Structure formats: C-alpha cells, structure tokens
C-alpha cells in the first residue's frame, strides 16, 4: 500500500472536521508557551512576553474534566476499590462505597475488572440500566435484553450505521442528519459509505426541528440514495435545543410513515435547564399502539457528557426498542468483534444510573457535587449567552440544554476574503486568529452556506476560565470588527457613496496551510 491509490476510497472520501487542525495548533502554542516560560526563567528575559496570554483555554472539547471540572467522588472511590479490592477493608472509605464496590466485583468474572465481559456488557449493569430507563420514563418498561453497552455512544451509533449500510452497487443508504450536527458525524457516515441527507434546523426558532424541512430533505434525497434512518440529537448538539413532546411526536409519526429507523442521541439528557427532558421512548410509549409497537427506535446515552463527564473511561449504551430479534442477533455478532467497552467504564455506568440514595453515607456529598456542577453549567450558559449577544454581529439562541452555545457570527468582508485567499473556511480562520491572538480555542461551526457562520463553545468549564475566555473573546472580536471597518485611512464608501471593498492591510502570520480544514495534523 505504498501508493495512495490503494487506500480504501471510502476512507479517502471521509470528511474530517476542522477541529483536529485547530487542536494541533493549540497544542503547538501551548508547547511554545512552555518553552518561552522556561527560557524566561533560565535567561531572565525581562522584556514582556510577546504573547498576551500565558495559557490556552480550550472551550471546544465538551470534556469537562479536561477543562478542570472535578469528577464525582463517589464514582472515583467505588472504581478505585474495584481496581484495588484490598481497599474494601479501608474504613476511611464510606460504607456505601465499599458495599457497592463489592457488589460490582461480584458481578465481574473472576471478581476482577481485568476480565473480559460478555460482548453486550455485564448483565448486572445492563439490568441496572434497564431499571433506570423504566424509572426515568415514568414506568414505560425497558428490558436489559434491549440494552447494549459500548465504548461510548459514538461506537454504538457506528454499529447501527454499519448495520444499515447497504452493500456495493446498490443504492447507498441515506441517513437524515441535522444541520448543525456533532462535528464527527459526517466522517462517521462517510466511513460506512452512507449518504448524509441534511435537514436544516431553524435557527430563529431556537434551532427547532421543522416537519416541513424533514419532508423537503427526504424528497430531495430520493433518486440518489435510499433513506433508511433519521438521526436526531436531543438535547441538540451543538445547538442546545430541547424538543417538546409535540415536536417529538411529529418526528416519530414522520419516521413511522416514511419507514425510517430513529437514531436518537440523548447523551445530554442530564443537562437540561428550565424545560423538562422527556425521552423519545417515553413519548413513543404514550402514543397509539400502531406507533409504540412498531417504530424502531435506538437511543444513546454516555458517561462522557453532562453529569458524569467521564469521557476517559469510555462507556455508553444504547437501548433498541422494537428491533427485530433477527437484527438483534447481528448486533450481538458485531459487538463480538469489537470487544471494547472497558470494565471500569461499564461499572461507572452502573454508578451513573444508580447513584447514592437519601440515607446512604455518600448521598450528601454526591448531591452537593451534582448540584454544584449543574449550577455552574446553568450560570455559565446564561453568562456566555449574555456576553455573546452583546457583541456586534453576534447572535446566540438561548441554550435550553447540553453544554454548548452556538452563536452565529456575521464576519466582516475582509475576513471572508482573507479566508478565500488562504483556502480555509472563514469561521475556521476566525478561530485560528482568536487562538493565536488570545489563546482561546473555540470550535468553528459547520458551514451552512451563504453568509452565516457559527462558533461552537463548550461552557461546562470552571466559571473563572469561562469569564477569562469571554473577556478575551470580546476584546478579540471588537478589535477585529474595528480593524476591518477602518482600513488605514481608506473610507468604506467613496465620494460617490459607492461601497468600497474593505481590505485589511496588515497581515498577521498564519500557520494554516492551503488545505485548511482537510488537514489532519
């Protein structure tokens, strides 16, 4: 395979998000800063650092612990005791921690987290999850046989997509996908040779899902692919929109009528402010039998988001409702060759769905930690929304849930031109400049076409990090707008009142290559 030609064309065609390139840049800058600091110390350079910032603030990863949020004590104590069972005798660990750890270890083969588990996950954890789902959905029953544990929700989603993907030579499978969507989704679909059928969310209505748009998208797809599924994220990623019951019902009826499998990403269900989260399953079960007994629904949840924030432990699950038992068999087979949900992650899932109860030794601490994180998220979302809406050219829908804000940005013509010259997307260029000048990493939105560009900010970070980042953003954005509206003496309108092209005459070095957002390293 020394020739590029031999690489699987499907892989060559995979779309990558610009995020990787931005992250590389951030890593490089961080490294440079570390070197600079070392140099300053050793050579006693007294002149001010050329940079205005001392460390990079990352608001993109949706990874709370990376950003500095604390983990939940109960979770870490139980897992430590599971790893190191002689801690079970340690009385400094609360009693409920030790009891739970013992109980979890008893469900592991060989009493060890180092043993393989059944491919769909530990039976005991699947059962805990089923019970949690039943409670969550006010009694609408869930069964452990319909629960599959995987190494994160994306892995489970990939499995479903793989299942649905048609073979070669036939009309490719299509999956209706929201715009905007999680930035890894297009690549995931590309990898399986599945066609992405975009349906636009309506920004002016808080990124709501419109039935008419679903119909339009479906119609447009006919003839060049065979749509078999619809992907929804609720709460929306990165929009933060939380669907109401009526909207969910509409989608379910649409999926039923068009014979689409519903793939519902509900990983941020624990992070909803104000309105109430109601799951697709719950709504489905309250609808008429003709829907509740036939619509194929797969919903996804994960350790990585919201309350637990334990991305590094790598575990999630999916619940498959109304799935044909024959198809279920294949799900099991596919899980067999990807034995990948680490046991520690599986156990953490148990803790997520079955946390300490009132009366348990850990209950108070646990509750305090959860409420504190929730309050932080809510406060941050509000604060960021305020600031963003106050910036010229920026407009942000209120987040109803999730951990992201997704403001639209009207970029000055000069940036658009510069972007075109450099061969990068304008919002990516904005993010790069912001990173270089102010040391804050935010995500670029998916290009929607036309003049609209967006940014993606994760707000589940310690409040002072957010405050600092927002200050730097304001400063950067105002500077940018200012710079582009006066061009070294050239007025924006000539003496006849005609608009003159605005061009920034001072260039700042950019380390972006001409390939821009397709670059991976």
Question: What angle in degrees, to the nearest 10, is found between the helix axes of 363-390 and 73-83?
Answer: 130
DSSP code, position 337 = T
The Cα 249–Cα 13 span in angstroms is 36
Of 261 and 431, which CB lies nearer to another protein in the complex structure?
261
Nearest Cα residue to 341 out of 166, 137, 129 = 129
Q: Which two tokens stand for residue 138?
A: 């006010």
> Where would I find the H helices in 337-412?
343-353, 363-390
* Binding of residue 345 to another protein (CB under 8 A): yes
* Binding of residue 330 to another protein (CB under 8 A): yes
CB of 343 to another protein, least distance (A): 4
Of 225 and 413, which CB lies nearer to another protein in the complex structure?
225
- Is 16 in contact with 513 (CB distance < 8 Å)? no
- The size of the interface with another protein (CB under 8 A), counted in residues, is 97
Of 113 and 242, which CB lies nearer to another protein in the complex structure?
113
Return the beta strands (E) in 188-233 as ranges. 195-200, 226-233
Phi, psi of 129 (to 5 degrees): -65, -45
Of 343 and 411, which CB lies nearer to another protein in the complex structure?
343
CB of 382 to another protein, least distance (A): 24
Ranges within 253-282 binding another protein (CB under 8 A): 256, 259, 261
Nearest Cα residue to 250 out of 219, 209, 290, 220 = 209
CB of 220 to another protein, least distance (A): 21
CB of 58 to another protein, least distance (A): 9
DSSP code, position 399 = P
Q: Pick one of 94, 121, 240, 309: the residue that binds another protein (CB under 8 A).
A: 309
Q: Pick one of 52, 54, 275, 312: the residue that binds another protein (CB under 8 A).
A: 312
CB of 71 to another protein, least distance (A): 5
The Cα 40–Cα 452 span in angstroms is 43
CB of 213 to another protein, least distance (A): 22
* Binding of residue 293 to another protein (CB under 8 A): no
* Binding of residue 251 to another protein (CB under 8 A): no
* Binding of residue 326 to another protein (CB under 8 A): yes
Please identify, among the stretches 335-343, 356-364, 392-400, 416-424, the one whose residues bind another protein according to the rule CB under 8 A.
335-343
Q: Which two tokens stand for residue 498?
A: 């005609």
* Binding of residue 7 to another protein (CB under 8 A): yes
The Cα 509–Cα 25 span in angstroms is 13
Q: Pick one of 51, 53, 56, 83: the residue that binds another protein (CB under 8 A).
A: 83
The Cα 214–Cα 64 span in angstroms is 33
* Binding of residue 310 to another protein (CB under 8 A): yes
CB of 197 to another protein, least distance (A): 16
* Binding of residue 405 to another protein (CB under 8 A): no
Q: Pick one of 21, 22, 26, 81: the residue that binds another protein (CB under 8 A).
A: 81
Q: Pick one of 2, 42, 50, 488: the residue that binds another protein (CB under 8 A).
A: 2
Ranges within 128-167 binding another protein (CB under 8 A): 151-152, 154-155, 158, 162-167
- Is 481 in contact with 398 (CB distance < 8 Å)? no
CB of 497 to another protein, least distance (A): 50
* Binding of residue 452 to another protein (CB under 8 A): no
Ranges within 90-129 binding another protein (CB under 8 A): 90, 108-110, 112-118
CB of 233 to another protein, least distance (A): 17
* Binding of residue 296 to another protein (CB under 8 A): yes
CB of 310 to another protein, least distance (A): 4
CB of 172 to another protein, least distance (A): 11
Buried b (16+ CB within 10 A) or exposed e, 264-277: bbbbbbbbbbeeeb
Nearest Cα residue to 195 out of 13, 399, 392, 346 = 13
Q: Which two tokens stand for residue 189?
A: 């679909």
* Binding of residue 338 to another protein (CB under 8 A): yes
Buried b (16+ CB within 10 A) or exposed e, 88-118: eeeeebbebbbebbeebbebbeeeebeeebe
Please identify, among the stretches 3-11, 136-144, 353-361, 433-441, the one whose residues bind another protein according to the rule CB under 8 A.
3-11
SS3 69: coil
* Binding of residue 32 to another protein (CB under 8 A): no
Q: Which two tokens stand for residue 403?
A: 């951990």
Ranges within 176-195 binding another protein (CB under 8 A): 184, 187-188, 191, 193
Instruction: Note if the bond before 509 is cis, omega within 30 degrees.
Output: no
Place of tokens 């299509």: 174
SS3 178: strand
CB of 174 to another protein, least distance (A): 12
CB of 4 to another protein, least distance (A): 5
Q: Pick one of 294, 389, 511, 513: the residue that binds another protein (CB under 8 A).
A: 294
Q: Pick one of 38, 45, 68, 220: the residue that binds another protein (CB under 8 A).
A: 68
DSSP code, position 319 = E
The Cα 62–Cα 304 span in angstroms is 9
């Amino acid at each position: 395979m020394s020739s590029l030609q031999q690489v699987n064309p499907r892989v060559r065609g995979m779309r990558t998000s610009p995020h990787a390139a931005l992250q590389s840049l951030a890593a490089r800058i961080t490294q440079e800063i570390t070197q600079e600091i070392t140099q300053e110390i050793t050579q006693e350079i007294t002149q001010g650092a050329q940079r205005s910032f001392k460390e990079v603030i990352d608001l993109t990863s949706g990874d709370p612990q990376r950003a500095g949020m604390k983990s939940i004590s109960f979770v870490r104590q139980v897992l430590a005791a599971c790893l190191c069972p002689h801690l079970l005798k340690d009385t400094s660990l609360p009693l409920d921690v030790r009891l739970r750890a013992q109980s979890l270890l008893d469900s592991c083969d060989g009493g060890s987290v180092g043993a393989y588990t059944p491919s769909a996950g530990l039976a005991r954890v699947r059962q805990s999850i089923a019970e949690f789902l039943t409670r969550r959905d006010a009694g609408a029953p869930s069964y452990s046989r319909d629960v599959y544990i995987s190494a994160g929700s994306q892995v489970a989603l990939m499995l479903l997509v793989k299942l649905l993907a048609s073979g070669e030579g036939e009309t490719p499978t299509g999956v209706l996908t929201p715009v905007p969507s999680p930035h890894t989704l297009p690549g995931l679909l590309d990898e399986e040779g599945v066609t992405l059928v975009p349906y636009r969310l309506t920004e002016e209505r808080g990124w709501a899902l419109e039935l008419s748009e679903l119909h339009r998208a479906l119609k447009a797809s006919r003839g060049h692919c065979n749509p078999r599924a619809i992907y929804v994220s609720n709460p929306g990623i990165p929009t933060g929109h939380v669907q109401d019951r009526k909207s969910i019902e509409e989608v379910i009826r649409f999926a039923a009528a068009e014979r689409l499998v519903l793939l519902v990403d509900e990983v941020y269900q624990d992070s909803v402010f104000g309105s109430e989260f109601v799951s697709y399953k719950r709504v489905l079960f309250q609808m008429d039998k003709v829907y509740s007994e036939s619509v194929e629904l797969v919903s996804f949840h994960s350790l990585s988001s919201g309350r637990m924030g334990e991305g590094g432990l790598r575990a999630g699950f999916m619940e498959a409702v109304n799935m044909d038992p024959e198809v279920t068999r294949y799900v099991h087979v596919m899980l067999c060759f990807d034995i990948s949900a680490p046991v520690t992650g599986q156990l953490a899932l148990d803790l997520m769905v079955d946390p300490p109860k009132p009366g348990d030794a850990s209950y108070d601490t646990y509750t305090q930690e959860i409420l504190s994180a929730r309050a932080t998220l809510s406060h941050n979302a509000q604060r960021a929304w305020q600031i963003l809406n106050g910036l010229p050219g920026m407009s942000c829908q209120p987040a109803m849930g999730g951990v992201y804000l997704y403001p639209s940005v009207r970029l000055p013509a000069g940036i658009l031109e510069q972007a075109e010259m450099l061969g990068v997307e304008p919002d990516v260029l904005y993010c790069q400049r912001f990173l270089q000048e102010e040391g804050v990493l935010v995500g670029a939105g998916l290009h929607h076409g036309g003049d609209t560009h967006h940014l993606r900010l994760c707000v589940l970070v310690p409040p002072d990090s957010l405050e600092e980042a927002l200050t730097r953003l304001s400063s950067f954005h105002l500077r940018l707008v200012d710079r582009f509206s006066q061009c070294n003496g050239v007025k924006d309108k000539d003496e006849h009142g005609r608009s003159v092209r605005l061009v920034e005459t001072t260039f700042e070095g950019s380390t972006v290559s001409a390939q821009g957002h397709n670059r991976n390293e």
